[in-house]
Structure 1
Amino acid sequence: MMEFDIEKLIEECVFTAVRSSGSGGQNVNKVASKVVLSFDVNGSENLTELQKQLILKKMSNRISKNGVLQISSDSERTQWINKKAVTGKFRLLIREALKPERKRIATKPTFQSVQKRLDDKKRQSGKKRFRSGDFDV
């Protein structure tokens, strides 16, 4: 695994508290308990260029056009717990993105799988031959 200090990355994050969306009761419309974590991947001083490219590639669906990763949490009632939750999500996502991909080891198909494929092929061709009227009884 590539070396990086997750705590230094968390220090680079910007936390914003906003009001949760959706319907709610007494609490939801008044209190800014949703926490949004923003992390500028390209502007990070603690990641190497290779690590930045890996994160941008693997998390392209979560990263904006200007290279900012945004994660939010509004599942809990307090801002503090949501901040802990969003930080946990961030740790997990970064670890997953920087985990080295394992090489696939090519294997031969099993005898059973080859037999099944050939049998299915034979059955399918028999069906087609029967439909065309070009069959020997």
Structure 2
Amino acid sequence: MDEFAQGIFISPGVRVPLEEIDFSAIRAQGSGGQNVNKVSSAIHLRFNIVASSLPEEVKEKLLSVSDQRLTNAGEFVLKSQEHRTQEQNRYAALVRFQQWLQDATKTQKKRKATRPTRASKERRLQKKTQRSTVKSNRGKVSW
């Protein structure tokens, strides 16, 4: 957990302070017997993107992402319940949240338009004529 003491780093100069993230403990679902029924070990991580201290362009990028964990009010909700303890689930939620933030704010490279080479065009046409002769030879044989 010391890894997130300064907050969650998205990119150089951009980070989310832990004070802006809301954690709530809930009971986990699924198998686990009596432990699941009596211990609130699952974690709900909530992050309000609109009210955060992030730069406006980062907020716009995050809000434009198509994700079912993003509410209409601009809040990101993540549930972590894969571990037996609250602390492990809290850490797992923070790791997944950091990964989501970094993936959502990553800028994609512009595609550089390229043209096929003359040799590749010739190979393509050669294969077309070869295929054409193979298909034309499949017809009925006349004696």
- TM-score, reference length from structure 1: 0.75
Q: How does 1:73-84 map to 2 (within 5 A)?
A: 73-84=80-91
Deviations 1:52-77 (A, max 9, x none): 11001124432011111011111100
Q: Provide the residue aligned with 2:14 in structure 1.
A: 4
Deviation string for 1:94-117 (max 9, x for gaps)? 122122222122222354477448
Q: Evaluate the alpha carbon distance shift between residue 117 and residue 35 of structure 1 in structure 2; reply closer, same or farther with a 3 A threshold.
A: farther
Distance in 2 between residues matched to 1:118 and 1:90, nearest whole Å: 52
User: 2:99 and 2:93 mapped to 1: Cα distance?
Assistant: 10
Could you tell me whether the CA contact under 8 Å between 1:59 and 1:97 is conserved in 2? no
Query: For the residues of structure 2 that align with 1:26 and 1:100, how far apart are their CA atoms?
Result: 46
CA distance in 1, matches of 2:87, 2:103: 25
RMSD of aligned residue pairs (Cα, Å): 3.1
Letter of the aligned partner of 2:57 in structure 1?
L
Among 51, 56, 59, the residue aligned to 1:52: 59
Q: Which moved more, 1:73-82 or 1:17-26?
A: 17-26
SS at match of 1:5: strand
CA–CA separation in structure 2 for the residues paired with 1:117 and 1:42: 56
Q: Which of residues 24, 30, 33 is equivalent to 2:32?
A: 24
Other-structure match for 2:112:
105
CA drift at 1:34: 0.7
Kindly provide the amino acid, as one letter, of the partner of residue 80 in structure 1.
E
- Matched AA of 1:57: S
Change over 3 Å in CA distance of 1:114–1:3 after alignment to 2:
farther
Partner SS, residue 109 of structure 2: coil
Contact map agreement 1:33 1:79 (CA 8 A) in 2: yes
Corresponding letter in the other structure for 1:28: V
Query: More strand by proportion, 1 or 2?
Result: 2
Relative contact order higher in (CA < 8 Å, ≥ 6 apart): 1
What do residues 33-62 of structure 1 show as CA deviations (whole Å, max 9, x unaligned)?
Answer: 110100011111x21221111001124432
Unaligned residue ranges in structure 1 (runs of 5+): none
- Secondary structure (helix, strand or coil) at the match of 2:19 reads helix
TM-score, L = length of structure 2: 0.72
Question: Alignment length, in residue pairs?
Answer: 129
